[in-house]
Amino acid sequence: MRLNLTLDDDHAAKLEVLAERSPVKPGTLARSLLLSVIDDVAVATQDDVPSGAHLAAILEGIPGAREKVDRGFASHDAGDSIALNEL
């Protein structure tokens, strides 16, 4: 799976500082950090795959996430979205 992320300026700066202190590129470090978090979530839920409720709780903890989702739905409802098969 390929995943593209956009970091806010604060987190991008933190990642850059961490990468400068290590022998790897920022993208490689970000991948490693994400994999560690996924593994930690799986361990915390005592399962290989976290439950939907657990994932929802994690997502709710992301600052501004709910507002971004709401804006996305509003944009879609206003006809500002493109179907994936039309890309």
pLDDT by residue (tens digit) across 61-86?
778 888 888 888 898 899 888 877 88
Note the pLDDT of residue 49: 64
Counting every residue, how long is the chain? Answer: 87
- Hey, where are the domains in the chain? 8-44, 49-79
Whether the CB-CB separation of 29 and 22 falls below 8 Å is answered with yes
Tell me which of 37 and 42 has the higher pLDDT.
37
Whether the CB-CB separation of 29 and 11 falls below 8 Å is answered with no
Whether the CB-CB separation of 81 and 75 falls below 8 Å is answered with yes
Q: How confident is the model at residue 42 (pLDDT cuts 50, 70, 90)?
A: low
